[in-house]
Amino acid sequence: MTQAATGDLGRGSADEERRQRTVTALGLIEDGPQERFDRIARLATTIFGVPMAAITVFDGDRAWFPGQHGFASGPVPRDRTLCERTVVEGRLIVCDDTRLDPRFRDKEGVREGRVVFYAGHPLRDRSGTIIGTLCIYDDRPRHLTDDQVTALGDLASWAERELRSEAEMSAAGAVQSAMLPPGDLEVDGWHVAGICRPALAVGGDFYDYGVAHGTLHVGMGDVMGKGTGAALVGAGARAALRGTHAAVTAGADLGVTITHVARSLLPDLERAESFVTLFEAAVDLEDGLIRYVDAGMGLALLRHADGTLERLVGRDRPLGVLPDDHWTEHEAELGPGDRMIVFSDGLLDLLDDPDTWLDAVAELLAGHDTATALLAVVASLTEDRVALDDVTVVAVYRAAR
400: pLDDT strictly greater than 80:
yes
1: pLDDT strictly greater than 50:
no
Domain presence at residue 201: yes
Q: Are strands 205-212 and 215-223 parallel, antiparallel or unpaired?
A: antiparallel
Average the pLDDT over each of 85-89, 186-190, 233-237 and give the range with the smallest value.
Answer: 233-237
Domain presence at residue 366: yes
Q: What is the mean pLDDT of the chain?
A: 87
Question: What is the three-class DSSP state of 78?
Answer: helix
Residues 6 or more apart whose Cβ sits within 8 Å of residue 53: 40, 41, 42, 44, 45, 68, 69, 70, 134, 135, 136, 137
Average the pLDDT over each of 36-45, 200-209, 324-333, 385-394 and give the range with the smallest value.
Answer: 200-209
Residue 363: the pLDDT is: 92
- Pair 98, 162 in one domain: yes
- Pair 75, 126 in one domain: yes
4: pLDDT strictly greater than 50:
no
Q: Tell me, what CATH number does 254's domain have? A: 3.60.40.10
170 vs 297, more confident: 297
Domain presence at residue 26: yes
Range 57-84 average pLDDT: 89
Range 37-53 average pLDDT: 94
Which ranges constitute the DSSP H helices of 135-249? 146-178, 227-242, 245-249
pLDDT band at 9 (very low <50, low <70, confident <90, very high): very low
341 vs 127, more confident: 341
10: pLDDT strictly greater than 50:
no
Q: Tell me, what CATH number does 26's domain have? A: 3.30.450.40
Q: Quick check: 3 and 86 in contact, CB under 8 A? A: no
Range 133-139 average pLDDT: 96
Output phi, psi for 376, to 5 deg. Answer: -65, -35
Alpha carbon 236 to chain centroid, angstroms: 17
Distance CA 35, CA 51 (A): 18
Range 239-253 average pLDDT: 94
Residue 329: the pLDDT is: 97
- Pair 126, 252 in one domain: no
Residue 7: the pLDDT is: 37
Q: Quick check: 57 and 131 in contact, CB under 8 A? A: yes
Residue 61: the pLDDT is: 83
Number of domains in the chain: 2
- Pair 194, 159 in one domain: no
pLDDT band at 178 (very low <50, low <70, confident <90, very high): low
Domain presence at residue 194: yes
Domain presence at residue 1: no
**Of 107, 141, 174, which residue is a domain's last?**
174
58 vs 4, more confident: 58
Q: Residue 14: which domain range?
A: 6-174
- Pair 103, 150 in one domain: yes
Residue 167: the pLDDT is: 56
Residue 60: the pLDDT is: 79
Residue 14: the pLDDT is: 65
Q: Quick check: 75 and 30 in contact, CB under 8 A? A: yes
For residue range 137-172, list pLDDT tens digits in order. 999 999 999 999 999 999 999 998 887 765 555 555
Residue 227: the pLDDT is: 63
**Of 174, 209, 240, which residue is a domain's last?**
174
pLDDT band at 387 (very low <50, low <70, confident <90, very high): low
125: pLDDT strictly greater than 90:
no
- Pair 119, 198 in one domain: no
- Pair 229, 330 in one domain: yes
Residue 203: the pLDDT is: 64
